[in-house]
Structure 1
Amino acid sequence: MLFCDIALAEDPPAEQTSSVLPPQKTEDAPLYLHADQIEGIANQQVKAKGHVELQRNDGVLTSDYLQYTFDTDQAYATGDVTLEQPGLNVRGPELRLRLTDQVGQMQQPVYSLSDLITHTQATALTRKARGEARVLDFEGKNQYRLKDATYTTCPVNNDDWYLHVKDLNIDRGREVGTARNAYLEFKGVPILYTPFIDFPLNNQRKSGLLAPTFGTTGSSGLEFRLPYYWNIAPNYDATISPRIMSKRGLQLGGEFRYLGESYRGLLNGEFLADQATKTNRWSVFVNHDQTFAPGWSGHLHYERVSDNNYYRDLSNQINTTSITNLSQDGSINYSAGWWNAGIRAQKFQTLQDPLAPIVPPYNVLPQLTLNANLYDWHGVDFSFAGEAVHFDHPTLVTGTRVSAYPSFSLPMANDFAYLTPKFGVSQTNYYLDSSTLPNTVRTLPITSVDSGFYMDRTTTLFGHNYHQTLEPRIFYVYIPYRDQSQIPNFDSGEVDFNFAQMFTENRFAGGDRINDANQLTTAVTSRLIEPESGLERLRVSLGQRFYFAPQKVVLPGGTPSNSTSSDVLASIGGQLSQAWRAEAAVQFNTGLGESIRNSISANYHPEPGKTLNLSYRSIRGTYNSLGASNLDTIRQVDISAQWPLAPRWYGLMRYNYSFVDGRLVQGLAGLEYNAGCWAIRGVLQRIATATGSASNSFFIQLELNGIGRLGSNPLDVLKQSISGYVNTNELQNP
């Protein structure tokens, strides 16, 4: 192809002609013109007919006829006019456009918008929008205004929903669309009118009204929420959420998030003048992390509500309705690498259950800590844990506890075995504000030896090669008995007996009880590992602890144990296939001759959008590993799933049932339909509350791709209730 400057005064021969028009400004790229016929006067005007194509940089204009004027930089095109630019394709019968500043107008345009993809977004789902208008005004680079327009993200020949707009502004620079005097038509029916709405053209944050949500709950009635999102800065944003409840009135809520180089945090608050209870109800949540200087950091967490029933009445999340203690704590910490220190204060708000009063935990006012870990210090590892803490309580014994636990260990290891002897001394002093309990000093030497082996071999099962391991482990602990009955219990509790706890020195959490121990723990684990992928196809573990002396130290109200061995723990599980994973565990009491704790679970997840979770657990509420009767009886089955029922239809469910209580702990049933450019989901949820009653909620949501979501939002509920749940809009081929 030959390019030359244009200097024509008469028609050229009837054959394809090409030319380069010189740029009008030095910063502009040249124009490339290609047509069946080209005529014009140099540096004044050029006309082209038949298969016209005008190109500058990455913009291409095609038409049947084109006239370009040099002085005004004006292109006038008629016929089948198409303009392609990054992120925009528009077609119409007539176009006037100044090429350099991108100012002009097209009549009767039919347009389509696509995401501006960068190399970091190459694997993301691309989204396209399209529509038509009476007039399209070009108002500068990446700035478009459409009159009497439509807008949809549905593909061609699919008109399920449209936004009809009197005035639509498309800002590709900010990736924001703004519509004035608009109404939404879904399946041929107008469902929503708004005088103003703006929406993102990509997934970036932007200020504006979010889609309203609505629904119903048994305790609050019909609900309507209209959030406003304020994108204050790249590192600050806020959401203001008015919520109208037919039984309770107007609740105002807000959330502020912030992020800086040395700090981050979240502020959240709600206020309601409750018409049902005739009281003012509110909640406050603050979470802040701060780095003051190298090594220095701080943390603040504060949450409080107006009354005991706040979450039970106003939340539809089971993990929220079951909250009993709200923490209010702050701390300052210093870390110097191998040692760290801190100061902390913590109080609690206890939400009382009228059917079962709860004793509030102790407040910590304050707590000083000092911890150190120095490895390979003169051939040994040194560790130190120390604290001084004052415990406060409105009704129970208060006082100060000062403790220090230095220890030394000597790790010895090679490729197939290890042996780690350890010795330490725990010293605890109690200074009590009580006339009934004396000040106490507790000194306990603690000795332990941890050892294990690692052996492996190559084996073949069912025609597949695996690495099979054999990993026995032996752990011995000796701690002499000290009478601790005169020591108050500020923060100690017995840890669940499991594989992790078997290999610890103390079966109690907290600092007020240290068990006496002359015990040996033995366990063995064997694994089948797929060498190509590294997947653990199967893991089998078996363990038991043996006691050479009675277990005398107990919590207040507990009973010492003369048992010579613990329960037997066994577990088996692994990634059975690409889609299946299963786990099973049992805790067997040799004295009773039966299992007292069982759990079994399986997960089937062949691909996104298909997940099935099954689990069952039971606890015999009479004995724990030492024979103490401090366990509640539990027998529960839990089934949850997301599964395609038909093309584009997905079923959603969770069934969590307690056989002991004879009631549903949490139930969920729903349907989700994804049409590609829109999705609708309906969910019915029932959850048991701490008071023994139940809360019912119904969610229905219409999601329009590229615009937002209408209705009550069940997505958080679904993600928490169904492990592996995926919003179908995130799937490539729903």
Structure 2
Amino acid sequence: MQIRYFLALSLLPNLVSAQEPTDTEAVELHCVINPPVSSSIDERQQVPNLSAEDIVIISDRSEAAMGDKAHFSGNVSFSQGTRHISADEAILDQKNEQLDANGNLIFSDEMFTVTADSLNAQMVSSSATLNGAQYWLHGQQIHGDAEQLKVTEQNNLELRNTNFTTCPVGDNSWLLEAEEIRIDSTEEWGEIWDAKIRIAGVPVMYVPYMTIPISDKRKSGFLFPDFSTSTTNGVEVSTPYYWNISPEYDLTFTPTYMSARGFYSKTEFRYLAGEDQDGQFNLEYLANDDKLDNSPDRYLYHWRHQGSINENWRVQANFTDVSDNNYFNDLSSDVNRSTDNQLSRVGEINYFEKDWDFGMKVQDIKVLGEDEVPYQVMPQLNFNYQTNDFWEGLDFKFNSELTNFQHKENEYSTATRFHMEPSITLPIQGPAGSLTSEIKLLQTQYWQNNIASDSELEDTVSRTIPQARLHGQINFERETHMFDADFRQTLEPQFQYLYVGYEDQDGIGIYDSAKLQEDYFGLFRDRRYSGLDRIADANQMTLGLTTRLFDDANIEKLKVSIGQIIYFQDSKINFADENVEVSPSTSVLAAEVDANLYQDWFISGAVQFDSEQGETKKSEVTLDFRPSNDKLLQFSYRYVPDLLNTNTNDRVDISQVGMRTSWPISDDLYFVGNFYYDLNESRSIETYTGVQYEACCWAMRLSYHYRIKTNYDDDLNPSIDTREQFESGVYLNFIIKGLGGSGPLGVEDMLNEGLFNYRKPLYLSN
């Protein structure tokens, strides 16, 4: 090994000639050693022309003999590369290529920082051993103590008689003690032998071997279990296992024991297909449900794929199937919620250019709990073209589709539909308002098969319907003073005249059409029904008005909209597939309001009122108090008359009130509660209460849930009378951060627990 000393110029002659130890003040020693050990960027900048292998040593005092030992004391600093050592005293043994340091010792590199009583570094192997160590991993909350800590040549850590936690220093809410820990700096995972986990100082678990993450890198291993108990499933224990197959694939297997039903397994496989495509497979299985007599196997399988092939081509696929109608009502699936009763099976491929696009789609929808089976789209081809300002400010669009409708049951008719829809639009827009004129020609051809002998459907139908629409809006604004404040108020009246020609459509079946909602924005649609099987004739005018209030900071404090359709002629087309005249001369009166009432109070509401019959068709209102992002109090009411109950096929009125809150009890403790009450039935339909404690190193959630169950007739249990009408349960989630848990618990997902998801108030413009 070749060592060269560079001292202050005044001391250099003494060192070279005498070869005797020298005592100096603020002496800098620069060493070139192979293999490298450590460096500090700031200190390296003080010495010119350094290579990546250079060692810089700084101290208050030094005694050095060429080829022998160098003794440094007082604010000693060794650095090279990413490693840095500081100590009160250090001895560099040049002959044995060894460094010993002690006293206020700190060792650090890109991965970790260690304080220790003493250090012994071997320069040949680039390894170091520290005794009485305390360590911290950079970028992580992980830290701990070790009787002995060794840094290997590969920059890995080996710890003996050690412990670690992710809690702050002095907080031992949880602590893992181990006989040995090895941390791989490349894989960024740790291996642990003979470990005990202590919570609040009490040992709760012994693990002979385990692995833990020290970064966001994925690694195979068990995740933390989940515990719950409910009237539906009994005691439920889940122990998920994560398998990191490769950078492109992973799998999570979750075996679950339910005391009331048996063994239930869930498997999720995720994959990446190149840089721009991804997907997943789910398989869930329960054999011989103990809660059902002579139960066949219950299962779910699901596939989802999406992404882009290149800059023009996009693909999407989604397929889900279950064994029975009540699968989501009874089991905690990872795919759908209990309130979902439609399973979508769709596959699409689309090609996009600047002015046109082309697509192909197949679709099948399975509706749980209903006897009627929707039609399948097998397949649908779409071609759309659009060009703006092609002549004198006119825009041109051409939409078309070719759809083949099939049905799983032979007694239903099938059809092929070809539709073309060219349109010309003249948009005129300015600060004061806008005026849009549009004409369309709706040309549709049907070829229908398997028509029943007593049906009015025709083998071939050609339908041509003209359509014209004129939509205008004017923007007024003024400065006003109200509620002891200055505002800018807008007044935005708008109108739409719509003409749609009439053609008898009795000979066409219903394949994909349904009635659309008549909310405020729905009043300005140009269709009454979705799909193309029924195009209602129209000769009508829609009148609407919106007003807004903006404060001095240009924040919207109030928005009110109201509108109604005036029918000049009664429509002869309705969804009952008959030529029955619709008698009302006006539509419902639709109104919506969103307002910041006062400081942190917000109100949002909508109503649909039949002005001719004097009846409310639908109404809902929410009142929110949200003084900060983590504080919420919401009251709600909704009313929907004459709604179909899918369980009994009866018509019922829905009148429900609800309350929802999320409130911090302290900095670490949150309370979340939901309560919904049915005024017509005089009973609670859902109650949810939960408390969550989240510290920096662990989190726990305890919740109680009571809710009405959705029950369907099916082959597994033909009578819904034998099923529970209500379900209640207690759920416990516990996560120790840093030991491979599924991530910190969130208050937001507690708000979405249950039948009614949380809907944030409309914060207007702020």
TM-score range, shorter chain: 0.7 to 0.9
Query: Residues 494 and 275 (structure 1 numbering): CA distance in 2 closer, same or farther, change over 3 Å?
Result: closer
How far off its partner does 1:304 sit?
Answer: 0.9
- Rounded to whole Å, the distance in 2 between the matches of 1:27 and 1:53 is 17
Equivalent in the alignment of 1:685 = 705
User: What SS does the aligned partner of 1:502 have?
Assistant: helix
- Mapping 1:293-372, distance limit 5 Å: 294-315=311-332, 320-352=337-369, 357-372=370-385
Task: Check conservation: 1:24, 1:73, Cα contact below 8 A.
Answer: no
Task: Check conservation: 1:213, 1:712, Cα contact below 8 A.
Answer: no
Query: Residues 88 and 298 (structure 1 numbering): CA distance in 2 closer, same or farther, change over 3 Å?
Result: closer
User: What SS does the aligned partner of 2:608 have?
Assistant: strand
- Rounded to whole Å, the distance in 2 between the matches of 1:219 and 1:213 is 17
How far off its partner does 1:443 sit?
Answer: 2.0
- 1:98 paired to 2:119: no
- Mapping 1:158-307, distance limit 5 Å: 158-259=171-272, 260-276=274-290, 277=292, 278-292=295-309, 294-307=311-324
- 1:707 paired to 2:739: yes
How far off its partner does 1:213 sit?
Answer: 2.1
TM-score (ref. length: structure 1)? 0.88
- Rounded to whole Å, the distance in 2 between the matches of 1:660 and 1:487 is 40
Query: Residues 640 and 349 (structure 1 numbering): CA distance in 2 closer, same or farther, change over 3 Å?
Result: same
- Rounded to whole Å, the distance in 2 between the matches of 1:653 and 1:147 is 47
- Rounded to whole Å, the distance in 1 between the matches of 2:200 and 2:641 is 56
How far off its partner does 1:199 sit?
Answer: 2.2
Task: Give me the identity figure in percent.
Answer: 29
Equivalent in the alignment of 2:588 = 567
- 1:69 paired to 2:71: no
Equivalent in the alignment of 2:398 = 384
Equivalent in the alignment of 2:462 = 441
User: What SS does the aligned partner of 1:48 have?
Assistant: strand
The one-letter code sitting in structure 2 at the alignment partner of 1:426 is L
The one-letter code sitting in structure 1 at the alignment partner of 2:695 is A
- Rounded to whole Å, the distance in 2 between the matches of 1:138 and 1:491 is 68
- 1:150 paired to 2:181: no
How far off its partner does 1:144 sit?
Answer: 0.9
How far off its partner does 1:244 sit?
Answer: 2.5
- 1:644 paired to 2:664: yes
How far off its partner does 1:186 sit?
Answer: 0.5
Equivalent in the alignment of 1:406 = 422
Query: Residues 666 and 204 (structure 1 numbering): CA distance in 2 closer, same or farther, change over 3 Å?
Result: farther
Task: Check conservation: 1:3, 1:20, Cα contact below 8 A.
Answer: no
Task: Check conservation: 1:699, 1:713, Cα contact below 8 A.
Answer: no
- 1:28 paired to 2:49: no
How far off its partner does 1:512 sit?
Answer: 1.1
Could you list the runs of 5+ residues in structure 1 that have no partner in the other structure? 116-126, 624-628, 726-734
- 1:592 paired to 2:628: no
Task: Check conservation: 1:148, 1:167, Cα contact below 8 A.
Answer: yes
Task: Check conservation: 1:683, 1:699, Cα contact below 8 A.
Answer: yes
Equivalent in the alignment of 1:732 = none
- Rounded to whole Å, the distance in 2 between the matches of 1:622 and 1:114 is 59
How far off its partner does 1:19 sit?
Answer: 2.0
User: What SS does the aligned partner of 1:108 have?
Assistant: strand
Equivalent in the alignment of 2:752 = 720
How far off its partner does 1:448 sit?
Answer: 1.1
- Rounded to whole Å, the distance in 2 between the matches of 1:467 and 1:138 is 68
Q: Deviations over 1:605-635 (max 9, x none)?
A: 3334322333221123389xxxxx9985222
Query: Residues 336 and 631 (structure 1 numbering): CA distance in 2 closer, same or farther, change over 3 Å?
Result: farther
How far off its partner does 1:510 sit?
Answer: 1.2
Query: Residues 713 and 457 (structure 1 numbering): CA distance in 2 closer, same or farther, change over 3 Å?
Result: closer
The one-letter code sitting in structure 1 at the alignment partner of 2:611 is T
The one-letter code sitting in structure 2 at the alignment partner of 1:90 is V
User: What SS does the aligned partner of 2:86 have?
Assistant: strand
User: What SS does the aligned partner of 1:509 have?
Assistant: coil
Equivalent in the alignment of 1:731 = none
Question: Please, what is the CA RMSD of the aligned residues?
Answer: 3.2
Equivalent in the alignment of 1:132 = 145
- Rounded to whole Å, the distance in 1 between the matches of 2:744 and 2:480 is 54
- Rounded to whole Å, the distance in 2 between the matches of 1:635 and 1:704 is 43
Q: Deviations over 1:99-146 (max 9, x none)?
A: 68641211221222331xxxxxxxxxxx42221122111113541111
- Rounded to whole Å, the distance in 2 between the matches of 1:548 and 1:325 is 38
Q: Deviations over 1:236-278 (max 9, x none)?
A: 3332222222333333322222232342222222223234144
How far off its partner does 1:454 sit?
Answer: 1.6
* 2:436 equivalent among 420, 425, 429: 420
- Rounded to whole Å, the distance in 1 between the matches of 2:66 and 2:98 is 15
Equivalent in the alignment of 1:547 = 567
User: What SS does the aligned partner of 1:718 have?
Assistant: helix
TM-score (ref. length: structure 2)? 0.84
How far off its partner does 1:517 sit?
Answer: 0.9
Query: Residues 714 and 193 (structure 1 numbering): CA distance in 2 closer, same or farther, change over 3 Å?
Result: farther
- Rounded to whole Å, the distance in 1 between the matches of 2:671 and 2:491 is 43
- Rounded to whole Å, the distance in 2 between the matches of 1:461 and 1:140 is 75
Equivalent in the alignment of 1:78 = 102
The one-letter code sitting in structure 1 at the alignment partner of 2:670 is Y
Greater mean deviation of Cα atoms: 442-451 or 482-491: 482-491
